[in-house]
A = this chain, B = another copy of it.
């Protein structure tokens, strides 16, 4: 019944549900064209956004980028407007002095304070640097109907990408919100979308036995019902750190309502086995773990053989780090299970654009189902508005005194 409600609700913001299947070729082509232009003409793309407007792009970019080198196929993408740090802003501007840049400002409502302030600064700096030509270097991604940013774009002749009106911020990764920055970073967004498309087909079944996203939703809901209150997303590859952050927003904002919901937390193993591992094994029994594991990772390193075996590690020589990492995962699952921690395992074949696209869609669908199981509405965030109101009020009072 929830399945039907989710699939057939005409008035709900569920554009993301069939988004990958209905992706308009022209829309995709226009993103790729602008991305090519940016890569050719700039050293840096400055993305302005907060929450759902940047977490997804950053997550995919980091999951699929080298750890220590810049992309060969893309350019630097840096993010701003997701905080109010004056030091961050000042040093960002300084870092642009000797670089050519484009700006992509992303906001569904077009009036979020953090990104609006950053846009004011960056726009001014672009106009100083590029004069008349600045307007060709500013790309706006916003709602096609109700958005102040839309008006600003039209009045100034900035190019504009629409965020479909029926797709909310945290479900918008696979629209222009995520696709343009990800493409500029040199990642194949067609493969990313292919993966999401495959997921949209695979995960259509209404039965949790055949639908893995629903199965995940049902199991985590059962654990919630049993009294567990924290879900710990765990991975063994540090590149997935920002995928965890995206997941935390998706589930935390969708479910954390009416005094309900699993608190979403995350760990990077094996790092955090030497940190939160103690708590997981033996602390307050509130949490279960969800392992997100990509089985194949293309890059790897052999452990060398050493004639003088003074560290006693020759028994591991000629194994690779990724092999030991996999064994470390098995050991962790065994140890934590013995410690009484329930464990969900999500296994993905390979860390590449296709499979990341698949996983993104998987989590979005599982999240919507999870929220409905909890009897909360997955697509609003009334609690975020509470602090926004407080801040606006304080700012206005302050500015009168000022």
Select which of B120, B282, B335, B398 is within 8 A of A258 by beta carbon: B282
State whether B287 touches A120 (Cβ < 8 A). no
Can you tell how many copies of this chain the complex includes? 2
Quick check: which of A24-32, A356-364, A389-397 contacts chain B, the rest being far away? A389-397
- Chain B hits for A194, CB < 8 A: none
Q: Among A160-168, A174-182, A313-321, which stretch is in contact with chain B?
A: A313-321
**Shortest distance from the beta carbon of A329 to any chain B beta carbon, whole Å:** 9
Residue from B68, B268, B389, B395 in contact with A324 in the complex, judged by beta carbons closer than 8 Å: B395
Of the candidates B89, B304, B387, the one whose C-beta lies within 8 Å of that of A273 is B387
Taking the nearest CB of chain B, how far is it from the CB of A148, in angstroms?
7
Q: Which of A150-172 contact B (CB under 8 A)?
A: 151-152, 155
Contacts of A273 in B (CB 8 A): 384, 387
Q: A306 contacts B124, CB within 8 Å?
A: yes
Interface bits A277-293 vs B (CB < 8 Å: 1, else 0): 11111111111000000
Distance (Å) between the CB of A343 and the closest chain B CB? 13
With A117-B303, A387-B277, A395-B324 already in contact, the answer to whether A85 and B238 are too (CB < 8 A) is yes
Please give, as numbers and ranges, the residues of chain B lying within 8 Å of A286 by CB-CB distance: 229, 263, 286
Q: Are B283's CB and A260's CB within 8 A?
A: yes
Question: Which B residues lie within 8 Å of A331 (CB)?
Answer: 387, 390-391, 393-394
Bound complex: CA A331 to CA B387 (Å): 6
Assuming the contacts A86-B299, A91-B69, A270-B84, asked whether A399 and B259 have C-beta atoms less than 8 A apart, the reply is: no
Of listed A152, A253, A282, A283, residue having the most chain B CB within 10 A:
A283
A87-B299, A331-B394 are known; give 15 further A-B pairs, CB within 8 A: A51-B274, A82-B271, A83-B236, A83-B238, A84-B322, A87-B298, A112-B274, A255-B283, A257-B278, A257-B283, A258-B282, A261-B284, A262-B284, A277-B384, A282-B382
18 A-B pairs with C-beta separation under 8 A? A50-B270, A83-B238, A84-B322, A86-B297, A86-B320, A86-B322, A86-B325, A89-B301, A91-B299, A116-B311, A121-B304, A248-B275, A258-B282, A261-B279, A263-B287, A281-B384, A315-B399, A332-B390
Which A-B residue pairs are the 8 nearest by beta carbons? Answer: A256-B283, A256-B279, A51-B274, A281-B383, A86-B300, A86-B321, A331-B391, A87-B299
